[in-house]
Amino acid sequence: MKKNWPILVVDDEDVMCESMAAWLREDGYRVDTAPNGLKALELTKATDYVICFIDLKMPGMDGIETMMEIRRIRPEASVIIITAYATVDTAIQAMKEGAQEYIVKPCNPQEISMLVSRIMKFRKLQSENAILRKKLSRQYRHHDIITKNSRMQEILALTQDIASLRSTVLIRGESGTGKELVARAIHFSGSRAEKPFIAVSCAALTETLLESELFGYEKGAFTGAAAQAKGKFELADGGTIFLDEIGDISGKLQADLLRVLQERRFYRVGGNEEVEVDVRIIAATNKNLAEEVQQGRFREDLYYRLNVIEICLPPLRERREDIPLLAEHFVQRICSELGKDVGSISGPALNLLIAYDWPGNVRELENVIERAIVTCRNGMLDDQDFAWLQKQATHSQNWEVPDVPLDELERRAIIAALERKHGNVKEASSALGIDRSTLYDKLKRYAIVH
Amino acid sequence: MNALYVVAIGSVPEPALQWAEEAAAEWFPLPLKRLSALAIPEAAYDTKRRQYQSIEIMKMMAQSAPRDAVRVLGITDADLAIPVLSFLFGQAQLNGPIALVSLCRLHQEFYGLPADLQLLRERTVKEVLHELGHTFGLTHCSQRECAMSLATHIQGVDAKSDRYCARCGLQLVDRVASL
């Protein structure tokens, strides 16, 4: 852990730098030294030092000036001014300018040891606090998984069962079905909940950007890489990384990712030192990865590594019973965020929402509700607030029922579902809202060859 | 095979060198050799503080190290310090070949108490294991009783044991074996 909290020692006397660095290294810290202020600034730009020990009297840029510049670059860094001569004036000036401590050399080893340990503990608390704050806000979003649909409830139960495992999870579902919410539910229900949850949208970045985003880079790895940067895998160490739109990554990144999955190690871009991480990977896609594998667009070995536990999220049109619940929930949440006073949704408006097919799924429903609330002039959302949806919903409602027996209707529905799902019985049964064995029975009954 | 050298820096009582050698032999399966005593370099003496800068002594040790030395352990009676710290019980190069232990503040007499040879032996062994541990990459251990725990006062030295904890011991075995 200590290696992740680097320390800088700045002194024009070589023996002071060397001895202090050696003493701190024995304690397990990574320590850099600088013989003057300019070198210290150069190092500070490249590394996020937790503590900077700076000698007060140095030729050229003195200790106070160096401290001020360092704090400008790294406001979070704790600066400890060291001097051989204690005067009240310099001590006051140093503290005024932002020094955390002021020590007169030589000082007792216990004093410095306690000082360093106190600052490190404070920094650790700060970082934990940041993680907890994020966690709290994300837990709020976790409650957005609102459902009375039996398939969704099975999925939520599964997320609890697999939460504390390390196995990779592949979440499939159309855009807007809540893949990231499910990933967060898995993370925050398990033993990694106290550690970071890092989400990366693989489709949003180019191959090279995504590579440096995922694995980090060393200073000078490419133009503009002015300082070393940790990648998402390192940031997620101990926690979970959520790789959204995994089906969109390039062949090279597929190979790199496979290596991380197999060995839990990787190199930063431009680096030659292996970085080891303990990260749980949850991937998501709206593509049929098995088909991508067949087409040669996705590595088979990576697919099997990712697909250890598979979760398929149903689209909103296949869980219409959840639409009123979700709509009411979004009304309450968005009204509270926007400071609007909209009590509820009228019956006709609700019918309109239920009838609509929601190609953008829950996310689209959320956006539609927000848009309606923003433009709503009454205390209730009615069908006029969703007028622009009405046309499509009416089209859906006016679907002409063919004049055929009910069995024939069912047979046609099954054939249509199988065609839509490219013959995949599991997916077709999900789409039809029945289990696989029931579908097989019906296939036999209607003599449907698939 | 490369050897672990023990060397007196300045005048050091023979028993102290033997304690150091016994401790090293018990934990480090390396050929053990004694180097002729080295004089403390004048540059190491800080006239104002009346102490010796450990870095200067370690530099001199590195220059005097025989070719087959895989580690050099210096034992001195000099009171060691570095500019920012008022004293040191010892110092070592992390993952490097040089380790230095000062007996000065391990003596009961330093604290105005009657001499205690057994206590001095125990303290010497603990500090020898501690500094040699650093040369094999071990950093300070949070286990109070481990020889690698940080002692910033003599009570801290007495509180730890003359052995490594299981975790540090395993790391040490691994690193010595990889030499």
Q: Cis (ω within 30 of 0) for the bond into A106?
A: yes
Which of 54-83 (B) contact A at CB < 8 A? 54-56, 81-83
Number of folded domains in chain A? 4
> Are residues A308 and A161 both part of a single domain?
yes
> Is the same domain home to A187 and A306?
yes
Instruction: Give the Cα separation of A269 and B86 in Å (integer).
Output: 43
Tell me the average pLDDT across A343-368.
89
What integer is the mean pLDDT of A403-427? 84
Same domain as A393, residue A331: yes
Q: Tell whether A43 is covered by a domain.
A: yes
Q: Examine the domain organization and report whether A80 and A109 are in the same domain.
A: yes
Q: Is residue A429 part of a domain?
A: yes
- Check whether B119 has a pLDDT greater than 90: yes
Residues A91 and A158 placed together within one structural domain of the fold? no
| Inter-chain Cβ pairs, chain A and chain B, closer than 8 A | 77
Chain B residue with the nearest C-alpha to that of A25: B94
A65-123 residue pLDDT tens: 999 999 999 988 999 999 887 677 777 888 888 888 888 888 888 888 889 989 988 88
Domain residue limits at A68:
2-123
> Residues A194, A65: one domain?
no
CB contact under 8 Å between B152 and A108, yes or no, is yes
In this structure, the answer to whether residues A10 and A76 fall within a common structural domain is: yes
SS3 A198: strand
The complex's ipTM works out to: 0.81
| A131 lies in some domain | no
B131 annotated active-site:
yes
Q: How far is CA A144 from CA A179, A360, B148, in A?
A: 12, 16, 50
Query: Cβ distance A421 to A428 under 8 Å?
Result: yes
pLDDT value at A1 more than 50: no
A58-89 exposure pattern, b = at least 16 Cβ within 10 A, e = fewer? beebebbebbebbbeebeebbbbbbbeeeeee
User: Hey, what are A103's tokens?
Assistant: 């020590």
- A302-310 average pLDDT score: 93
Alpha carbon of B140: minimum distance to chain A alpha carbons (Å): 5
Same domain, A342 and A324: yes
Residues A345 and A292 both lie in one domain: no
A282 and A186, same structural domain? yes
Query: Which residue, A264, A288, A312, sits at the end of a domain?
Result: A312
Which member of B83, B93, B150 has the closest CB to residue A105?
A: B83
User: A110–B152: do the CB atoms touch at under 8 Å?
Assistant: yes
Strand residue runs (E) in A48-168: 51-55, 78-83, 101-104
Q: How confident is the model at residue A368 (pLDDT cuts 50, 70, 90)?
A: very high
A128 domain residue, yes or no: no
pLDDT in tens, A127-158: 888 777 666 655 544 555 888 888 998 998 89
* Residue A435, domain CATH: 1.10.10.60
- Kindly state whether B138 is in contact with chain A, defined as any CB-CB distance less than 8 angstroms: no
Identify whether residues A167 and A288 lie together within a single domain.
yes
Beta bridge partners of A201: A244
Do A245 and A334 belong to one domain? no
Task: Answer whether residue A425 shows pLDDT above 90.
Answer: no
Residues of A in contact with B152 (CB under 8 A): 108-110, 113
At residue B175, the pLDDT reads: 87
Query: Domains (ranges, CATH) in chain B?
Result: 3-177 (3.40.390.10)
Chain A residues lying within 8 Å of B150, measured CB to CB: 26-27, 113
Probe site for chain B from A2, A7, A26 (most B CB atoms < 10 A) = A26
